[in-house]
Amino acid sequence: MAKKYFENMEGFALGKENLKLLLIGFVIIVFGFLLMVGGKSSDPSIFNPEIFSFRRITLAPMVVLFGFLFEIYAIMKKPKE
Protein backbone atom coordinates (compact mmCIF):
# COMPACT_ATOMS: atom_id res chain seq x y z
CA MET A 1 0.00 0.00 0.00
CA ALA A 2 2.81 2.42 0.83
CA LYS A 3 4.43 1.70 -2.51
CA LYS A 4 1.26 2.80 -4.29
CA TYR A 5 1.32 6.06 -2.30
CA PHE A 6 4.91 6.86 -3.30
CA GLU A 7 4.49 6.10 -7.04
CA ASN A 8 3.00 9.39 -8.27
CA MET A 9 4.79 12.16 -6.36
CA GLU A 10 5.54 14.60 -9.16
CA GLY A 11 3.50 17.47 -7.66
CA PHE A 12 5.03 17.30 -4.19
CA ALA A 13 7.79 19.59 -2.96
CA LEU A 14 9.49 16.71 -1.12
CA GLY A 15 10.64 13.48 -2.67
CA LYS A 16 10.35 9.88 -1.50
CA GLU A 17 13.65 10.03 0.34
CA ASN A 18 12.61 13.20 2.18
CA LEU A 19 9.36 11.62 3.34
CA LYS A 20 11.20 8.54 4.59
CA LEU A 21 13.65 10.76 6.48
CA LEU A 22 10.73 12.71 7.97
CA LEU A 23 9.21 9.46 9.19
CA ILE A 24 12.52 8.41 10.76
CA GLY A 25 12.78 11.80 12.48
CA PHE A 26 9.25 11.44 13.81
CA VAL A 27 10.10 8.03 15.27
CA ILE A 28 13.20 9.50 16.95
CA ILE A 29 11.09 12.27 18.52
CA VAL A 30 8.48 9.81 19.78
CA PHE A 31 11.25 7.62 21.22
CA GLY A 32 12.66 10.64 23.05
CA PHE A 33 9.30 11.42 24.59
CA LEU A 34 8.89 7.78 25.61
CA LEU A 35 12.22 8.04 27.44
CA MET A 36 10.71 10.84 29.55
CA VAL A 37 7.79 8.69 30.74
CA GLY A 38 7.66 7.33 34.27
CA GLY A 39 8.97 8.19 37.69
CA LYS A 40 5.62 8.79 39.31
CA SER A 41 4.85 7.82 42.86
CA SER A 42 1.89 5.65 43.83
CA ASP A 43 1.25 7.94 46.80
CA PRO A 44 1.07 11.68 45.99
CA SER A 45 2.39 12.63 49.42
CA ILE A 46 5.65 10.69 48.88
CA PHE A 47 8.37 12.27 46.73
CA ASN A 48 10.05 9.97 44.21
CA PRO A 49 13.53 11.24 43.24
CA GLU A 50 13.48 8.95 40.18
CA ILE A 51 11.80 11.77 38.21
CA PHE A 52 15.19 13.51 38.17
CA SER A 53 17.10 10.59 36.65
CA PHE A 54 19.73 11.09 33.93
CA ARG A 55 17.43 9.44 31.40
CA ARG A 56 14.54 11.86 31.96
CA ILE A 57 16.47 15.09 32.53
CA THR A 58 19.39 14.78 30.10
CA LEU A 59 19.14 11.90 27.64
CA ALA A 60 15.49 12.25 26.58
CA PRO A 61 15.63 15.99 25.77
CA MET A 62 18.83 15.44 23.78
CA VAL A 63 17.15 12.66 21.77
CA VAL A 64 14.11 14.87 21.10
CA LEU A 65 16.35 17.78 20.05
CA PHE A 66 18.28 15.48 17.72
CA GLY A 67 14.95 14.31 16.26
CA PHE A 68 13.89 17.89 15.53
CA LEU A 69 17.27 18.69 13.97
CA PHE A 70 16.95 15.53 11.87
CA GLU A 71 13.50 16.72 10.75
CA ILE A 72 14.99 20.04 9.62
CA TYR A 73 17.65 18.14 7.67
CA ALA A 74 14.97 15.93 6.10
CA ILE A 75 13.01 18.96 4.94
CA MET A 76 16.02 20.90 3.66
CA LYS A 77 17.66 17.97 1.83
CA LYS A 78 17.42 18.47 -1.89
CA PRO A 79 15.45 15.62 -3.49
CA LYS A 80 17.17 13.60 -6.16
CA GLU A 81 15.81 14.06 -9.66
Residue 38: name the closest of 26, 63, 55 by CA.
55
pLDDT, one tens digit per residue, over 18-76 is 999 999 999 999 999 999 998 777 888 888 888 889 999 999 999 999 999 999 999 99
CA distance 81 to 73: 18
Question: What is the reported pTM?
Answer: 0.80
Q: Compute the half-sphere exposure of residue 62: CA atoms within 13 Å on the CB side of its CA.
A: 6
What per-residue string of b and e applies to 38-64 under the rule 16 or more CB within 10 Å gives b?
A: eeeeeeeeeeeeeeeeeebeeebeebb
What confidence tier does 5 reach under pLDDT thresholds 50, 70, 90? low
